[in-house]
Amino acid sequence: MAGDARDTGRTRMMEPPVGPESAPFWEATKEGRLLVQWCTACDEGIFYPRAFCPTCGTASAVGEGLEWRTASGRATVHSFTIEHNPAATGATFSGGEPYVVALVDLEEGVRMLTNIVGCPVHEIRVGMEVSVTWEPLSDGRQLPQFMPAPS
Amino acid sequence: VDRTLRGAAAIVGVADDVSPSGELERTGRALEVAMVLAALDDAGLTLGDVDGICHAESSMAFAEYLGIHPTFTDSTMTGGSSYEVHLEHAAAAIAAGVCDVVVSVYASTPRSDRTQKRKVERRFPPGPNPMAEWEWPYAMRMPMGPYALAATRHMHEFGTTSEQLAQIAVSTRQWAALNPRARYQTPISIDDVLASPMQTSPLHLLDCCLVTDGAGAFVMTSAERARTLKKPPVYVLGASTCHDHMMISQMPDLTTTPGAVSGHRAMGMAGVKPSDVDVLMGYDSFTITALLHLEDLGFCAKGEGGPFAEDGKLGPGGSLPMNTNGGGLSFTHPGMYGMFLITEAVRQLRGEGGPRQVADAEVALAHGSGMVLSCMSTAVLGTEATL
């Protein structure tokens, strides 16, 4: 259910609903593939998924002109914040410890909100290279998060 | 620049209600109606004169409650900047002859709702909500998170420091110390801000606005009619709105808000430069919010907001009086603070500021910020002398 807080076993988080254009995105997460919607007319990535290219205005009632591409999973941290009060958000994936919310720029040129996990929060920097990692959701889908890229 | 709006309409009545306790006795419609009647009384008008209504939830439901049948209606909801947008729309409607007397009203009591354990329905905008899919799963704290992301990026690009951000909170508190209605009136230091608990880095508790009860209303009419009323008219010299995203991942540039567009347009319409502004009411949901306004409105160059604020020029006696009521940081912040930018700007231009009055204030700029740096709306206001 959209916006429900659910126990996924390891963590507790808001489970994302599947938007009207994003079923392929979420389906691919089950296999650990990160998809980016692409406009073939202007050759630009689109995030979040929609039935229209906001860069060039190509509209697609049935997906014509827009396609899905598999992203490399590599990204750069554009900005981040350390949440020092996890109790205020109810997030428990960090076990009550401060956690990181970040905007990352995918190699393919789109920006998404995410968490950076898998390293001490104070080591995170703007410009840091990260790669996708997956957090299981209750229905088999997985939530894309990011962790420091192997150097 | 089209200047047909310049000086066509004026604010003729204002009212607001806040308390140093942060809590008000009245709530809901009773509080809203009290504000409408007080603002009309301030203008020397009555409810029978009103033919235009603005309300960020539902202008229809509110007009029904009042028992009025307006010919201009506006339920625009852009978050905290809603009231600057109402002002702009009302000025345009009055100038076009659509209506004659417009009232905009706001009341919210989040603090007493909590202490009194009142159940309040939490509303999200109707329609598809991409935030639930692409943001909520990441547990970003709202509303701090998006502003924290902007602050981190600003620090990275321009070397802005926590001390510089803290100075904005310090200067704002100096103004609040002159306002007996402000929630917090005790002076603070930069060290106090930096020592306050870190919330959503790099924002400390004292970088964040209050959560208080508050309410207000303003009344507008044509310049011609304004001159026949009780108080000196405060003319709308320019107004403009721009939004460039709804959620933070879609903001084109984290360090430049759409205020760069609305501010430029509003000041162009008014024919004023930043150096002409005597009082700046710049929405301060967070210290970073106010800093971005300083740059985007052209008071300093992009990236120089930190050094600009550093010397205290925004406080009492400084060269750019900002948020003279004590702002969202120290006066009141009931959730959508934009109403209080207008009520204070009007009082300053009328010379009703008391101990915090800015001498010879002729031009005031009320700059509202809505949602997560999403919708900026700028109103340039002036006295009779500025026409």
Cα A125 to Cα B144, B153, B155, B312: the distances in Å are 19, 10, 12, 30
The confidence score (pLDDT) of residue A60 equals 58
Choose among B136, B153, B203: nearest Cβ to A3: B136
Q: Which of A8-12, A59-63, B117-121, B297-301 has the lowest mean pLDDT?
A: A8-12
How many A/B residue pairs have CB atoms within 8 Å? 108
Check CB contact under 8 Å for A79 and B133.
Answer: no
Burial of B252 (0-12, 13-18, 19+ CB in 10 A): exposed
Confidence of residue A9 (pLDDT cuts 50, 70, 90): very low
Mind listing the pLDDT tens digit for each residue in A80-126?
999 999 989 888 778 889 999 999 999 999 999 999 999 999 999 99
Which of A12, A35, A81 to mutate: most B Cβ within 10 Å?
A81
The dihedrals phi and psi of A61, each to the nearest 5 degrees, come to -70, -35
Per-residue pLDDT tens digits for B209-243:
999 999 999 999 999 999 999 999 999 999 999 99
Query: Where are any strands of DSSP class E within B26-182?
Result: 52-54, 72-74, 101-108
Report the pLDDT value the prediction gives residue B351, as an integer from 0 to 100: 98
Q: Is the pLDDT score of A127 beyond 70?
A: yes
What is the distance between the alpha carbons of residues A4 and A41, in angstroms, rounded to a whole number?
37
Query: Given CB atoms, is A59 within the 8 Å cutoff of chain B?
Result: no
Structure tokens given for B6? 């310049």
Q: What is the pLDDT of residues A57-85, one digit of tens each?
A: 877 555 678 999 999 999 999 999 999 99
Q: What are residue A5's DSSP bridge partners?
A: A14
* Distance, CA of B321 to chain centre: 15
Q: Over pLDDT 90: what percentage of chain B?
A: 96
- Cβ contact, residue pair A112, B248, below 8 Å: no
pLDDT tens column, B25-49: 999 999 999 999 999 999 999 999 9
**Average predicted confidence (pLDDT) for chain B:** 97
User: What per-residue confidence (pLDDT) applies to A61?
Assistant: 56
pLDDT in tens, B161-182: 999 999 999 999 999 999 999 9
Helix (H, G, I), strand (E, B) or coil at B91: helix
Q: How far A63 CA lies from chain B's nearest CA (Å)?
A: 19
- Chain A neighbors of B246, CB-CB under 8 A: none
Say whether residue A51 is in contact with chain B using an 8 A CB cutoff: no
Q: Measured between CB atoms, which of B139, B148, B156 is closest to A91?
A: B139
CA-wise closest residue to A124 among A148, A93, A149: A148
Nearest CA in chain B to A116: B138
Residue closest to B150 by CA, chosen among B281, B240, B263, B252: B252
* Rounded Cα distance, B189 and B185, in Å: 13
What pLDDT was estimated at residue A150?
84
Read off the pLDDT of residues B104-152 as tens digits, 9 standing for 90 and up: 999 999 999 999 999 887 666 677 889 999 999 999 999 999 999 999 9
Checking ipTM against 0.90, whether it exceeds it is: yes
Average pLDDT over residues B312-331: 98
When the pLDDT of each residue in chain A is averaged and rounded to a whole number, the result is: 88
pLDDT, residue A6, reads 39
Instruction: Say how far apart CA B285 and CA B83 lie, in whole Å.
Output: 15
A103:B248 CB<8 A: yes
**Which DSSP helix (H) or strand (E) runs through A27?**
helix A23-29
- pLDDT for position A4: 38
Q: Label residue B99 by pLDDT band (50, 70, 90).
A: very high
Q: Note the pLDDT tens digit of each residue in B14-25.
A: 999 999 999 999
Rounded to the nearest angstrom, the minimum Cα separation between A100 and chain B is: 9
Give residue A11's pLDDT: 44
SS3 B103: strand
- Residue among B235, B233, B219 nearest B381 (CA): B235
Q: Is B353 on the interface with A (CB under 8 A)?
A: no
Do A84 and B135 count as a contact with CB atoms less than 8 A apart? no
Q: Binning pLDDT at 50, 70 and 90, where does residue B13 land? A: very high
What letter represents residue B152's amino acid?
T
- Rounded Cα gap, residues B83 and B381, in angstroms: 14
Task: Report the residue of chain B nearest A13, measured CA to CA.
Answer: B137
Task: For chain A, say whether B197 makes contact (Cβ under 8 Å).
Answer: yes
Whole-angstrom Cα distance, residue B384 to residue B263?
A: 22
Q: What is the C-alpha to C-alpha distance for residues A129 and B171, in angstroms, rounded to an integer? A: 38
Nearest chain B alpha carbon to A90: B139
- Which chain B positions have a beta carbon within 8 Å of A102's beta carbon? 149
Q: Which pLDDT belongs to residue A13? A: 62
Candidates B52, B248, B291; CA nearest to B134 is B248
Strands laid side by side in the B375-382 sheet: B72-74, B52-54, B101-108, B214-222, B9-17, B234-243, B375-382, B363-370, B279-282
Whether A140 shows a pLDDT value over 70: the answer reads yes
